[in-house]
Amino acid sequence: MVTVVLTLGLSMAVQGYMNHLSGIDEPRGQVSRATGGVPGAVAEGGPVVDPRGDGVRTATPSDHTVALTFDDGPDPVWTPRILDVLREHGVHATFFVTGSSAIKHPEIVRRMAAEGHEIGIQTLTHTDLSAAPSWRLQLETRGAQKVVAGITGNSPSLLRPPHTSTNATTTDGQWSAMDAAADQGFLTVLNTVNSGDWRRPGAEVITGLLLQPGVQGQVVLMHDGGGNRSQTVDALSAALERQEKSGISFTSVGDSIGIDSTRKASVGDAILGKAFVWGIRLTDAVVAAISWGLVAAGIVTLLRAVLVMVVAARHSRAVRKSREAERNRGWFEPPLRVEVTEPVSVIVPAYNESAGIEAAVRSIAASTHPVQVIVVDDGSTDGTADIVEALELPNVQVIRKENGGKPSALNAGIAAAHHELVVMVDGDTVFELDTVHVLIQRFADPRVGAISGNTKIANRGGILGAWQHIEYVVGFNLDLRLFDVAECMPTVPGAIGAFRREALARVGGVSHDTLAEDTDLTMALCRDGWRVVYEDDALAWTEAPATLGALWKQRYRWCYGTLQAMWKHRGAIAQSGPAGKLGRRGIGYLFVFQVLLPLFAPIVDVFAIYGLVFLDPVRIAVVWGIFLLIQFIMAAYAFRLDREPMRALWTLPLQQFVYRQLMYLVVIQSVVTALAGVRLRWHRMERYGSLRVPAATQERS
């Protein structure tokens, strides 16, 4: 994946260099040259400058001869029209092409060569060579030369550096660039007459400049790219129609001074040129594909935000109306929903949970609902079972077994459970007094096989705790409401979940097949036809990782296990009924938002850097701001639904720079590990002892 990101980054850098550091800007006005650096032979000589070898030679077109030159092309609109005018009058001209434009329109360059026109270069990206370091000067000139060689099979030797004008106005920097380009075999072509067509002075004005009287030959500068060149086309046509009467001969630079500036490119140069052209076109295609992918990802992200908030509002309204109707029913009216009062077996799998097991067990044992608490010690070496037994709580049972993993501990607890309803809870989780009672009420519906509670972060202090708190409230609980309404719940979290023993028996208990046994079990229940629902008022307080390393291990296990469960239950996509809803809705949702988009996230970050460097930084900042605003609105709404204080949301912008990257790197590593066929071992989480039994719970116990 690192290779992919680096390759895409390189593609974007190349594409950005070729297309966004280039651009045809307006020619500069006449500037005074610096004194002392430019040889007199150049300052006072002809417009074709040859610094190759010893000394400097210059040349001027023959008398009554005008060399027509065109800069800044090829352009898909104006260059063909100029070529049409030249062909109509049987005149050849010199086109100084920009490499980046030639790559975009190779067919026009080939037409120039096929119709006998002379092709020169104006660098790769229309950069000012007078200010360019030597490496860039070589890249700009040799790169443009290779582009033309790759397209036409010919290697040009004429160069017109951007922003140059006449001999007299040549600056020291421009001369240095011309001299350095000569070492690569280039002749520099300046101009003696600037048509000023880029100012759009009118076709008649341009025509007058082309036909101005004078015996001495001229090199006329015009433009076939960089803007609207309709006046150039009209002026050229008018001038060529009047050339016989004027006594002027219009031709190319090479013909005007009697040289052949084009040679056949070597096989190596032609192959290298073709590879260069196709490489640049490939990077353009890659960046275009990424751009469309970003648009699609943005639309999907926006739709998801709208969807989860709308569905969460519907879920909240339905729950609120049900409770209000129950409160407002008449004294003698029967209850709208039968209250579930039967006792519950609560299973707590524990492996080296000495830091928090006392708080967890005390909180559950003090429940307002009748419970049997079964703590299954899975081969702990830190005295976890001893701590529980020392509490001497009457409704708490300890089972000691050899270490076999969490699924085996849960299955041992299920086998020892006395009651039909079973609650499973992690050993680092604390319940409220009424959590069990509130959690199981939806078992009044016989179709319900499992219920997810609302998991809260207990140790939310510090920025890492705040980020996880936001993730639980927004990313988990909003999704759980969506899954509840859509009847496609993929996960009942291990921190708090209630199950029917009948449902557990029908799917064979808790499976060892994946590292996400909670997701695997939930998907199995859905495929067996059971409804799985969410109860947001059943609160469980759990301990979150306090270091980035611990967080990485936890999320790596979760993500890898979820991928395993999705693959195991992929057949649900083709099923009907509850299983089909899980497959097409639940697993589809997980695949898009927990696999595809995180895999695409590094590309988003690389593109953001690309945008800041090569595009408009303000526009990129605005887009990022809109994205952050959507995240904030969704988070604020989720916090409001969960009746949580908003103060943690100040960390949300920072979450985008650190936490989000950590999460998508976890997904990338998990996907790569899964594709490689590596089977991970269970990662035990580090415990910190931050859990506290609620005050009311302590009094009751």
> Which residue is it, tokens 């050993």?
427
Most confident listed range (255-264, 441-450, 453-462, 635-644): 441-450
In one letter, which amino acid is 22? S
**In the predicted structure, residue 30 carries a pLDDT above the cut 70:** no
Identify whether the C-beta of residue 687 lies closer than 8 Å to the C-beta of residue 553.
Answer: no
- Residues of the chain by 3-state class (helix, strand, coil), percent to 5: 55, 15, 30
**In the predicted structure, residue 698 carries a pLDDT above the cut 50:** no
* Stretch 511-530: mean pLDDT: 94
**In the predicted structure, residue 326 carries a pLDDT above the cut 60:** no
Which one, of 381, 389, 378, lies nearest residue 350 by Cα?
Answer: 378
**In the predicted structure, residue 630 carries a pLDDT above the cut 70:** yes
pLDDT, residue 439, reads: 96
Which one, of 62, 50, 58, lies nearest residue 251 by Cα?
Answer: 62
The full set of domain ranges for the chain reads 41-256, 333-700
Identify whether the C-beta of residue 403 lies closer than 8 Å to the C-beta of residue 378.
Answer: yes
- CA 333/CA 390 separation, integer angstroms: 47
pLDDT, residue 327, reads: 57
Give the model's confidence band at 701: pLDDT under 50 very low, under 70 low, under 90 confident, else very high.
Answer: very low
Most confident listed range (4-13, 239-248, 406-415, 543-552): 406-415
For the CA atoms of 126, 130, 135, 138, what is the dihedral angle to 10 degrees? 60
Percentage of the chain lying above the pLDDT 70 cut = 89
Give the model's confidence band at 293: pLDDT under 50 very low, under 70 low, under 90 confident, else very high.
Answer: confident
If 0-12 CB within 10 Å is exposed, 13-18 middle and 19+ buried, where does residue 293 land?
A: middle
CA angle 608, 614, 617 (to 5 degrees): 60
Which is more confidently placed, 382 or 623?
Answer: 382
**In the predicted structure, residue 270 carries a pLDDT above the cut 60:** yes
pLDDT, residue 690, reads: 59
pLDDT, residue 34, reads: 46
Identify whether the C-beta of residue 149 lies closer than 8 Å to the C-beta of residue 155.
Answer: yes
Q: How far is CA 200 from the centre of its chain?
A: 42
Kindly state the tokens that stand for 560: 């890898």
Does the predicted TM-score (pTM) go above 0.75? no
pLDDT, residue 553, reads: 86
CB atoms within 10 A of CB 53: 8
557-589 pLDDT, tens per residue? 889 999 999 999 999 999 999 999 999 999 999
pLDDT, residue 657, reads: 76
* Three-state secondary structure call for residue 394: coil
DSSP for 567-596, please give it. Answer: HHTGGGGG--HHHHHIIIIIIHHHHIIIII
- In CATH, the architecture of 41-256 is Alpha-Beta Barrel (3.20)
CB atoms within 10 A of CB 55: 9
pLDDT, residue 432, reads: 94
> Identical fold at 41-256 and 333-700?
no
* Stretch 530-539: mean pLDDT: 95
pLDDT, residue 82, reads: 97
Enumerate the H helices of 64-211 as residue ranges: 78-89, 99-104, 106-114, 134-152, 172-182, 203-210
pLDDT, residue 33, reads: 45
Query: Beta strands 249-251 and 65-73: pairing type?
Result: parallel
503 CB-near residues (< 8 Å, 6+ apart):
449, 450, 525, 528, 530
Kindly state the tokens that stand for 153: 């099979």
pLDDT, residue 605, reads: 78
- CA 375/CA 353 separation, integer angstroms: 11
- In CATH, the architecture of 333-700 is Alpha-Beta Complex (3.90)
Give the CA count within 13 Å in the CB-facing half-sphere of 187: 22
pLDDT, residue 341, reads: 94
32-52 pLDDT, tens per residue? 444 468 999 899 999 999 998
Kindly state the tokens that stand for 410: 């849960």
**In the predicted structure, residue 624 carries a pLDDT above the cut 50:** yes
In one letter, which amino acid is 373? V
* Stretch 213-230: mean pLDDT: 90
Percentage of the chain lying above the pLDDT 90 cut = 60
pLDDT, residue 297, reads: 85
pLDDT, residue 697, reads: 47
pLDDT, residue 667, reads: 86
Which one, of 453, 495, 458, 459, lies nearest residue 477 by Cα?
Answer: 453
Query: Beta strands 193-194 and 218-223: pairing type?
Result: parallel
**In the predicted structure, residue 246 carries a pLDDT above the cut 90:** no
**In the predicted structure, residue 664 carries a pLDDT above the cut 60:** yes
57-112 pLDDT, tens per residue? 999 999 999 999 999 999 999 999 999 999 999 999 999 999 999 999 999 999 99
CB atoms within 10 A of CB 391: 15
Across the chain, what does the average pLDDT equal? 87
Identify whether the C-beta of residue 213 lies closer than 8 Å to the C-beta of residue 178.
Answer: no
Which one, of 190, 40, 46, 205, lies nearest residue 122 by Cα?
Answer: 190
* Stretch 143-152: mean pLDDT: 94
- CA 619/CA 613 separation, integer angstroms: 12
3-state helix/strand/coil string of 153-175: CEEECEECCCCCCCCCCCCHHHH
pLDDT, residue 688, reads: 56
Give the model's confidence band at 213: pLDDT under 50 very low, under 70 low, under 90 confident, else very high.
Answer: low
Give the model's confidence band at 157: pLDDT under 50 very low, under 70 low, under 90 confident, else very high.
Answer: very high
CB atoms within 10 A of CB 40: 8
Number of residues assigned to the chain: 701
**In the predicted structure, residue 1 carries a pLDDT above the cut 60:** no
Identify whether the C-beta of residue 428 lies closer than 8 Å to the C-beta of residue 353.
Answer: yes
> Which residue is it, tokens 């000589």?
45
**Catalytically active residues, by annotation:** 71, 223
Greatest extent of the chain over all pairs of C-alpha atoms, in Å: 118
pLDDT, residue 445, reads: 93
- CA 529/CA 251 separation, integer angstroms: 84
If 0-12 CB within 10 Å is exposed, 13-18 middle and 19+ buried, where does residue 616 land?
A: exposed
**In the predicted structure, residue 388 carries a pLDDT above the cut 50:** yes
Identify whether the C-beta of residue 309 lies closer than 8 Å to the C-beta of residue 637.
Answer: yes
Identify whether the C-beta of residue 111 lies closer than 8 Å to the C-beta of residue 154.
Answer: no
If 0-12 CB within 10 Å is exposed, 13-18 middle and 19+ buried, where does residue 596 land?
A: middle
Identify whether the C-beta of residue 179 lies closer than 8 Å to the C-beta of residue 39.
Answer: no
Which one, of 698, 699, 691, 686, lies nearest residue 429 by Cα?
Answer: 691
